[in-house]
A and B are shown apart, each in its own frame.
Chain A
Amino acid sequence: AQSVTQPDIHITVSEGASLELRCNYSYGATPYLFWYVQSPGQGLQLLLKYFSGDTLVQGIKGFEAEFKRSQSSFNLRKPSVHWSDAAEYFCAVGRIDSNYQLIWGAGTKLIIKP
């Protein structure tokens, strides 16, 4: 069955340090790939997406993600985090064998140390 794994439930990073959030998927073909952010008390906002082409994708708020087909991964990175980046981050996969479903990871909560 298709699945999305975010292996880290929580990650703590010092302000100004670099960040990498992991996402692995299990799927037969290269799906559409997304990262969303959910700030406390808010809905989900799209950070970036990958459909095809360049495997390094730039998003909003200084985030980027790299698609690695050989590892079935789509990890999210930021070179220097800010306290305002504290939030929950979700990876999602859009199935390409049907047009009606996104498959979601369980989320990673990012905590920023001052």
Chain B
Amino acid sequence: EAQVTQNPRYLITVTGKKLTVTCSQNMNHEYMSWYRQDPGLGLRQIYYSMNVEVTDKGDVPEGYKVSRKEKRNFPLILESPSPNQTSLYFCASSKEGNTEAFFGQGTRLTVV
């Protein structure tokens, strides 16, 4: 089954404690991206990757890091989380950045 898998689904952490949210896709897609979703703001892109070892900033990259060492995986790293990063995060993959995106189930992150 074609899918995007992200883990964990829920995470509560403390300010400053590094964390990683994993994302994996099995569709051989070139393009992957991370979004955060906040009430009234819709989806905002954090980072994207057009291919292995190629990543670039989206609209709200501050406080986040990503890596793309393999085509299928695109982890999101918060080196020093802060409460304003409390949000719902989605990973997505697609053949190209402007075509149909397939989404993971989301990760609800709370930073206290």
Q: DSSP class of A's interface residues: helix, strand, loop or mixed?
A: loop
**Residues in A neighbouring B102, C-beta threshold 8 A:** 46
Q: Considering only CB atoms, which chain B residue lies closest to A105 in the complex?
A: B42
Q: Which of B11-19, B68-76, B78-86, B92-100 contacts A (4 or more CB under 8 A)?
A: B92-100
Are A43 and B105 within 8 A (Cβ)? Answer: yes
* Pair A32/B90 contact, Cβ less than 8 Å: no
Chain B residues contacting A106 (CB-CB under 8 Å) are: 40-42
A101 in the interface (beta carbon within 8 A): yes
Q: Mark B1-39, 1 if CB is under 8 A from A, else 0.
A: 000100000000000000000000000000100000000
CA distance in complex: A9, B39 (Å) = 10
Identity of the chain B residue whose Cβ is nearest the Cβ of A44 in the assembled complex: B103
Show the binding face of A for B, using Cβ within 8 Å.
9, 31-32, 34, 41-46, 49, 90, 92, 94-96, 98-102, 104-107
